[in-house]
């Protein structure tokens, strides 16, 4: 009987009302702050893209360190691919990934002049270690 009186006097909110009020507050927040809604919608795909990009670099350098992938043609192709365009927006990448690309300049010397590539930190093993230590 006491519970019925409390509900009738609205001392206890009816079931479902707090959830609706919370939804309205959240909806109102995103209506007033449209940038927050955009950020909320874009953050997961951008994070997924970054993780896939990092995993692709790891797979590429693991292939270049394998016996089948470690050839002059492969190392020169990867080196040429990343340096086709001098206007690549590398400054938008995190510092750790900029470091990987900065040390990739002597990757083409891995087979023909391994000591030069090693001095510049451009062997596939060194680049793989840098990619694994990098963060997004």
The per-residue pLDDT for range 43-85, each reduced to its tens digit, is 999 999 989 989 999 999 999 999 999 999 999 898 888 776 6
Average pLDDT on 103-117 reads: 87
What was the pLDDT predicted at 64? Answer: 93
The set of residues, in sequence order, having a beta carbon less than 8 Å from that of 111 and lying 6+ positions away, is 70, 71, 72, 75
124, 75 contact by CB (below 8 A): yes
Can you list the positions of beta strands (E) in 7-133?
Answer: none
Spatial distance between the Cα atoms of 123 and 26, rounded to a whole number of angstroms: 51
Q: 45, 27, 48: which is closest to 36 by C-alpha?
A: 27
> How far is CA 132 from each of CA 41, 56, 82, 100, rounded to the nearest angstrom?
28, 11, 18, 10
| 125 burial type by CB count under 10 A (0-12 exposed, 13-18 middle, 19+ buried) | middle
Per-residue model confidence (pLDDT) at position 10: 57
Contact 7, 14 (CB under 8 A): yes
């Amino acid at each position: 009987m006491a519970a019925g009186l409390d509900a009738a006097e609205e001392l206890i909110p009816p079931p479902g009302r707090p959830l609706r009020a919370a939804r309205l507050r959240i909806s109102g927040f995103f209506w007033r702050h449209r940038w927050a809604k955009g950020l909320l919608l874009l953050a997961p795909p951008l994070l997924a893209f970054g993780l896939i990009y990092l995993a692709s670099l790891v797979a590429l350098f693991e292939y270049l360190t394998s016996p089948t992938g470690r050839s002059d043609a492969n190392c020169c192709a990867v080196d040429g691919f990343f340096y086709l365009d001098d206007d690549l927006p590398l400054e938008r990448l995190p510092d750790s990934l900029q470091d990987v690309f900065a040390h990739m300049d002597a990757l083409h010397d891995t087979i023909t002049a391994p000591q030069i590539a090693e001095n510049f930190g451009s062997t596939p093993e060194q680049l793989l270690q840098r990619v694994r230590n990098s963060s997004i």
